[in-house]
Amino acid sequence: AGLACKAVRDGDEWVITGQKVWNTLAHIADRGMLVARTDPNAPKHKGMTYFALDMHAPGVEVRPLRQITGEAEFNEVYLTEVRVPDADRIGDVGEGWRVAMTTLSNERTTIGGGGGGVPARGSGAIAEAVRIWNEEAGPATKTAVHRDELVQLWVRSEVLRLTNVRASQNRKAGNPGPEGSIAKLEFAKVNMDIYEFCVDLLGVAGLAGYDFEMRRADNLGLTGPPGSSRKM
């Protein structure tokens, strides 16, 4: 609720000034989601309003942020007296927090995989680990300890899949629940553990012949938005 954007109404428009950070793909987006404080005197989670922002409007400046993977998927967005039509307001004035929480619930469900069953990255990760175990791992690493670890990773992936199914059903019913947050949290953790397992199984070949470290870094980034894993 510590917003860095304020919006002042001017007739049928809102004049918005401030800054947003960690905006995913804002540099290629035509529209953005924006929550701005419209009543500075209201309590912390009140006085906020939700807008659909034209990313090409005058006064909108987007600055990409380089991340641990070397890519720049996230951005800082600076708003300088940007005029937003009241028609682009989503929900009632002062109800931005409620709308934002609904948005986040749906976003977490999508990241966790509830948008379409099992996410490709999630199912692909455990499937690749099983393939490596069957086809590439040497006798020295195919120990009982590693076998048990692989089984545990498969169980976690299957639990994640079933959680995704429940989250998807709730989302389609218009009632995204905590399952989406749980799936998002576990999705990043289980994939990082799978990639670490693959590197451990293959040794140096796992670092030289695969992009496991890049994929692990990519999933590490998912422990942040939307909603840090430490807070969920």
58: enclosing H helix or E strand: none
Structure tokens at 144: 């009982």
Does residue 71 carry a catalytic annotation? no
Query: Would you give the distance in Å from CA 178 to the centre of its chain?
Result: 15
Query: What is the rounded CA–CA span in Å between residue 232 and residue 226?
Result: 10
Given 73, 76, 107, 149, which residue is catalytic?
107
Nearest by Cα to 1 from 89, 75, 100: 100
Handedness of CA 34, 39, 42, 44 (dihedral sign): positive
Place of tokens 């809102």: 14
User: Active-site residues: which are they?
Assistant: 107
